[in-house]
Structure 1
Amino acid sequence: MSKVHLLPEDVISKIAAGEVIERPASAVKELIENALDANTTSLKIHLKEAGKTLIHIKDTGSGIDKEDLENIFLRHATSKISSINDLDKIDSLGFRGEALYSIAAIADVTLKSKTPGQDSGWEIQMRSGKKISFKPAALPNGTELEIRELFFNTPARRKFLKSNTTELNQCLNVIIPYALFHYHCRFLVTHEGKTLLDLNPHATVTERMAAILNLNREDLIEKQYHAKESNIAIKAVLGNINIKRPQRDLQFIFINGRPVQNKGISFHLNQVYQLIFPKGHFPAFAVFIEMPPQDLDVNIHPTKREVKIKNEYQLTSILREMCEHALMTQGQAKQAISPQSSAISESVIQKAIKNDTEKTFETTPAPEFLEDTHAPASSEPYAYPHADAQAQIQEHLFSVEDQNLQSKLSRARFLGSFINKFLIFEFDKSLFVVDQHAAQERIAYEAFIRQMDKGKIEVQELLSPITLKLTPQEKVAFERSKDKLEELGLSSSFFDDETLAIHSYPILLKNPEPAMRHLLSGENISHCDHETIARRACRSSVMAGDFLNKEKAEYQRDQLIKCKDPFTCPHGRPTVIEMSEKFLDKQFLRT
């Protein structure tokens, strides 16, 4: 008896749907793209249970004709392309005709639509890929789509969905980039009746970025260049050096209006800021690249996040120079960035774009905007300059974890502070360099754990609250964590829909604003142990750039020596480096 047989059509459709629609955010993405392709000026999105039980989207776009409604749920039914040649010049967000077919196969779907030329709209209902009804409907011009009980007929897939908080964050990760780029369009996003995002049309993308991220307009630097001969335009909106994030959640890259992840662009822009920022802090930026569609291949993956682009190496070089040029006006950045690299002109861009050597890279983006935020620096596909030389020096620089360190360091004489980042001590023909931020992190980390274990956290009450503007994702994180934050001494409440007022904070944390942001990023702190909470909270300890005089430097040294594990920070970096006379002699070729 034959073991090979053709699968039934309903099984095929469910398998195919699972490849396109992985979670509620996947459905939200496809529907937003359809609405924007229809030139909507207003987009309202309402979710229940993070989209698991309801996704309701209403737009004011061009609508769908009655004749097309019955075909729109067929697989590969699309108005965006008609021949293979169209794949080389795709200028719409959606084009395959798989989204509605896939959604209808795994959910209850009701679609209403009206075009300006119709007297009334029409409504079609689908369930498990089959038409249930088709009838007239009263509605204004545009399209309204309701998806209920996503994955109701594929329980195995529904079982693997994450918590409502996680799935809601994934939906926001999808929505926010589109809301940023399409600044002329109104976006309203609600969840369980609560408003998460309410954006009226803006005049510029910079104004929209400031509104979404709750930044001041002056916090953003705008740079743009156009290489006329190559028909490539680049615009960058860069956060200034005061905007430091605990993760890469405010970094956006767009190519021809499509949000993508590109490790090359991300790496080079982050590397410029790393000359200024403390370790573990990341900038905010949005990059907009317009290029001929034939130079961009988006038809290689269902999510359309993975793309192939020509001249990626040249583009990243240009963007790096643009970023350096922008930050040269930013005080501290002047010292960190070489002025020789700040000059950029259209001729430089044209020369780079027209370089004879073309390189094509395939990007390997994370599935969602937040999921690549904790990757170690070594995961980047590029090497830092002079990496070999740094490695050779590192062989001779060793973390002083021997039993004599505490005795030697306690008797060491303080020589001074270097660039308000490193404390220099001297004892017995050796120099000891203390990373003041790493050391203070270790001190605060162990002290905070002791206080949490005892249930007695020392708290500073504030006469006037500290206000903190939250992103939509941070608002969601606060709602799920507010009880735990209260236990930690971070008493806070909403001042308005977007502003958090901090009324008290643990004295050990020093800087409540960055501490709160670190605690609201990543895993829900309600499920974390004391070590994890302390590790995240204490990143806001004394930072590089804070001046410590002799008295404060020696006090920090003494506190560090008393720690259980004084020679690494909570994140594994060394706190102290010893350079012996022998090592220094060798560097100067004296031996």
Structure 2
Amino acid sequence: MADIINLLPDNIANQIAAGEVIQRPASAVKELLENAVDAGATEIQLILRDAGKELVQVIDNGSGMTETDARMCFERHATSKINTIDDLFAIRTMGFRGEALASIAAVSQVELKSRRADSDLGTYIEIDNSVVKKQEPCQAQIGTSIAMKNLFFNVPARRNFLKSNAAEMRHIVDEFIRVAMSFPELQFSLNSNGQELFHLEKGSLKQRIVAILGQHYNAKLVAVKEATDYMDLNGFVGKPETSKKTRGDQFFFVNNRFIKSPYLHHAVMNAFAEMIPADSFPLYVLFIDVDPAHVDINVHPTKQEIKFDDEKLMYAFVQSAIRHALAQFSVTPALNFDLDPGISQLDAITKPFTPEDQALSVGSSIYKSFTQANQAHVIDKGSNSNLKHWKDLYEGPRPVSSGSSSFPSIPSAPHEIPAAASVIDERWQEVSSAQKVPMQVHLQYILSHIKSGFILIDQQAAHERILYERYNRALSDTPMATQQSLFPQTLHLQPADAVLVTEMLADLHALGYDLEPFGNNTFIVRGTPADIQTGNEQASIEGLLEQFKNFSHELKHNRREQLVRSIARNNAIPRGKPLSTREMQNLIDELFACTMPSVSPGGRFTYISFKLQDLERMFERGLKASFSFYLGDELRWCKLFSGCCQGVPDSKAV
């Protein structure tokens, strides 16, 4: 019988291995930037064309390579960082496995130029599908320039799985920011299709954070710095007001390597507990410096998932360090253990504690409350307490019977959840004008009569449904009217957000936003939809972007659907906003003119209807439950005193 197991050819094996390391252009960007950092470069340039699909080029002024090293670096598992197994547990460089360049060469066309400072000539190498096509001496600057062209040209099936240019560009910007944030002492630049998106000069960590995330963070960063024998932690966290509804401004670095750690992120969230909403995320850029022997970074090919030998210690240290930093900067209250010099001058300190004073203190009620057993929690009721009926102010009086017992709680009210097909069988026109006047309840709900009872409308969910259908019509039929600004505003965005807005410009114009790119991640806002308050343009667009990123993880919706849902939720009337009678009536009329008025785009009910017969049944059940309670209670007492109530049946029998 013939053997059937064969060794794969090198080019196929390399392509299979490349699938783990190079998943998209951003993966190649990460590997090439990290190689430039390991080479000791102080200036690093990233040049892109067609969101990295056509070209990804990294130019650095690092140490460069010899002719032999330039050829060897494209072999699988060829590395200068590991010689023995012990070296694997003392890694402080960004790369070490020798897979990056071999994987890149397996799925693209590569050109490399490199020269060392002690050489007059450099080396030029051209590789196509892992095959060296050309190698010759050349003129080159000190350092290395490597260009990856036509990614996945030899694997068209994988190229078809790449996203749009804007989506791939966002991933590239994310990887660029992570490397640039790790090394603020290095100069970085990013050029895409001839336009410079980033130019980051050397500086401090705070300067790098502000340069990347925005100038408005300059006065909203809190320094974190703690050092122990086991580990050091330093960096910055944002003040609570910088928290957002979406992730994106959270960075953890271990030994200058960006990592993803839900466990440590939970520690940061706990440190911010009760200072930010539960559904918000704080800004943080934190660097952990720890002995590599305590860390295993060889867990995942991307090296973004690592393991610690003592995760609980890391968790507690991160949490306490952030709380301490926030307390030092008066963001959270802290105990002050320093004694006020004025306290030492008080009579209680300077004068002796005489026997008369001791007897007086022992006889006081305060002393007794802390010395008598189980008395520390007792509060002296007093004869005339002003707090006697404080609870009634909030709960209201409860109905009581002629006896000493009170009614039990009435079961919760049943309500009718309307179907999408039948909005409400009694239309608004069938209700008299006197009953039609709506009323706002707790600045969140709108109560209004209908023919058979009343309905309770969630004002935010209802307005979100109205806006959603309005914006959908604008994208499919007639664009919305734009309210032109008398004085156009300049909108400065983060690079990733600027790419996002550029991708959505056509749809934003149809929705009433008049935006014009102004270069350098800046847009001119010349107009907004007519229903947005003047002067709120920037907040409206920034909120829209946050909502869009919040929806971006939902793969079941396409980009246009995500945009419509985002802008509807962002512009909907918030809970807590008072509405006039006319505004409430208009909202009700527009809601029931919608094609699906019963639910919001996110699936929440916009209203609940209550019928009169339901209310009558509620009160009847409450009365029956109360009567049954009293009867059963009386019968139970009679059984206890059987001598008084002979022959009374058991309550279960009743």
Does TM-score exceed 0.5, indicating one fold? yes
Aligned-partner residue type, residue 102 of structure 2: Y
Residues 505-532 of structure 1: CA deviation (Å, up to 9, x unaligned):
11335554354343574769xx958754
Q: Does 1:64 align with 2:65?
A: yes
In the alignment, which of 476, 482, 487 is matched to residue 464 of structure 1?
487
* Cα distance in 1 between the residues matched to 2:317 and 2:458: 34
- Cα pair distance change 1:547/1:162, threshold 3 Å: closer
- Cα pair distance change 1:528/1:20, threshold 3 Å: closer
Aligned-partner residue type, residue 222 of structure 1: V
My pick for the range that moved more, 281-290 or 71-80, is 281-290
Map of 1:248 onto structure 2: 247
Residues 260-308 of structure 1: CA deviation (Å, up to 9, x unaligned):
2222333454577796767876544323222221222110211111211
Map of 1:96 onto structure 2: 97
Q: CA deviation at 1:195?
A: 1.8
- Cα pair distance change 1:253/1:431, threshold 3 Å: farther
In the alignment, which of 491, 505, 508 is matched to residue 531 of structure 2?
508
Aligned-partner residue type, residue 62 of structure 1: S
Map of 1:206 onto structure 2: 206
Q: CA deviation at 1:145?
A: 0.8
8 Å CA contact 2:240–2:276 kept in 1: the answer is: no
Q: Does 1:312 align with 2:311?
A: yes
- Cα pair distance change 1:283/1:237, threshold 3 Å: closer
Aligned-partner residue type, residue 116 of structure 1: A
Matches within 5 A, 1:284-363: 284-320=283-319
Matches within 5 A, 1:99-248: 99-202=100-203, 204-238=204-238, 240-242=240-242, 244=244, 247-248=246-247
Map of 2:373 onto structure 1: none
Residues 137-194 of structure 1: CA deviation (Å, up to 9, x unaligned):
2223211111222223333323332332222222222111111221122211112212
In the alignment, which of 491, 514, 536 is matched to residue 514 of structure 2?
491
* Cα distance in 2 between the residues matched to 1:544 and 1:320: 33
Map of 2:30 onto structure 1: 29
- Cα pair distance change 1:210/1:411, threshold 3 Å: same
Map of 1:84 onto structure 2: 85
Aligned-partner residue type, residue 263 of structure 1: P
- Identity, in percent, stands at 30
- Cα pair distance change 1:290/1:110, threshold 3 Å: same
* Cα distance in 1 between the residues matched to 2:277 and 2:438: 26
SS of 2:241 mapped into structure 1? coil
* Cα distance in 1 between the residues matched to 2:7 and 2:42: 45
Q: CA deviation at 1:125?
A: 2.6
8 Å CA contact 1:321–1:344 kept in 2: the answer is: no
SS of 2:512 mapped into structure 1? coil
Map of 2:601 onto structure 1: 570
* Cα distance in 1 between the residues matched to 2:278 and 2:414: 20
Q: CA deviation at 1:2?
A: 2.6
* Cα distance in 1 between the residues matched to 2:486 and 2:92: 55
8 Å CA contact 1:254–1:289 kept in 2: the answer is: yes
Map of 1:352 onto structure 2: none
SS of 2:524 mapped into structure 1? strand
Q: Where does the alignment leave 5 or more consecutive residues of structure 1 unmatched?
A: 346-394
- Cα pair distance change 1:507/1:269, threshold 3 Å: farther
8 Å CA contact 1:219–1:239 kept in 2: the answer is: no
Aligned-partner residue type, residue 148 of structure 1: K
Map of 1:348 onto structure 2: none
Q: CA deviation at 1:111?
A: 1.6
My pick for the range that moved more, 504-513 or 552-561, is 552-561
8 Å CA contact 2:43–2:187 kept in 1: the answer is: yes
8 Å CA contact 1:410–1:557 kept in 2: the answer is: no
* Cα distance in 2 between the residues matched to 1:438 and 1:265: 35
- Cα pair distance change 1:130/1:265, threshold 3 Å: same
* Cα distance in 2 between the residues matched to 1:231 and 1:431: 63
8 Å CA contact 1:177–1:259 kept in 2: the answer is: yes
Q: CA deviation at 1:27?
A: 1.4
- Cα pair distance change 1:448/1:280, threshold 3 Å: farther
- Cα pair distance change 1:539/1:19, threshold 3 Å: same
My pick for the range that moved more, 151-160 or 500-509, is 151-160
Map of 2:504 onto structure 1: 481
* Cα distance in 2 between the residues matched to 1:229 and 1:556: 66
* Cα distance in 2 between the residues matched to 1:216 and 1:124: 45
Q: CA deviation at 1:328?
A: 7.5
Aligned-partner residue type, residue 250 of structure 1: D
Q: CA deviation at 1:547?
A: 4.4
Q: CA deviation at 1:92?
A: 0.8
- Cα pair distance change 1:63/1:555, threshold 3 Å: farther
8 Å CA contact 2:565–2:601 kept in 1: the answer is: yes
- Cα pair distance change 1:136/1:450, threshold 3 Å: closer
Residues 413-466 of structure 1: CA deviation (Å, up to 9, x unaligned):
54544xxxx4597999x9999765445433433443455555151322111123
Q: Where does the alignment leave 5 or more consecutive residues of structure 2 unmatched?
A: 338-410, 419-423, 630-654
* Cα distance in 2 between the residues matched to 1:12 and 1:470: 43
SS of 2:72 mapped into structure 1? coil
CA RMSD of the aligned region, Å? 4.3
* Rg larger in structure: 2
SS of 2:215 mapped into structure 1? coil
8 Å CA contact 1:206–1:217 kept in 2: the answer is: no
Q: CA deviation at 1:83?
A: 0.9
* Cα distance in 2 between the residues matched to 1:529 and 1:181: 32
8 Å CA contact 1:515–1:538 kept in 2: the answer is: no
- Cα pair distance change 1:233/1:545, threshold 3 Å: farther
- Cα pair distance change 1:414/1:162, threshold 3 Å: closer
> Number of matched residues?
523
- Cα pair distance change 1:502/1:424, threshold 3 Å: same
Aligned-partner residue type, residue 298 of structure 2: N
8 Å CA contact 2:109–2:150 kept in 1: the answer is: yes
My pick for the range that moved more, 129-138 or 495-504, is 129-138
Compute the TM-score of the two structures, normalised by the length of structure 1. 0.75
Q: CA deviation at 1:497?
A: 1.7
* Cα distance in 1 between the residues matched to 2:255 and 2:131: 35
Aligned-partner residue type, residue 147 of structure 1: M
Q: CA deviation at 1:562?
A: 3.6
* Cα distance in 2 between the residues matched to 1:228 and 1:555: 63
8 Å CA contact 1:509–1:540 kept in 2: the answer is: no
* Cα distance in 2 between the residues matched to 1:206 and 1:569: 42
My pick for the range that moved more, 152-161 or 398-407, is 398-407
* Cα distance in 2 between the residues matched to 1:116 and 1:133: 23
Residues 36-70 of structure 1: CA deviation (Å, up to 9, x unaligned):
11221111111122222221110111222334223
Residues 62-90 of structure 1: CA deviation (Å, up to 9, x unaligned):
22233422322222111112111111121
Q: CA deviation at 1:313?
A: 4.2
Map of 1:392 onto structure 2: none
Matches within 5 A, 1:366-385: none
SS of 1:76 mapped into structure 2? coil
Aligned-partner residue type, residue 36 of structure 1: V
Q: Does 1:401 align with 2:401?
A: no
8 Å CA contact 1:232–1:291 kept in 2: the answer is: yes
* Cα distance in 2 between the residues matched to 1:193 and 1:8: 39
Aligned-partner residue type, residue 230 of structure 1: Y
* Cα distance in 2 between the residues matched to 1:448 and 1:322: 46
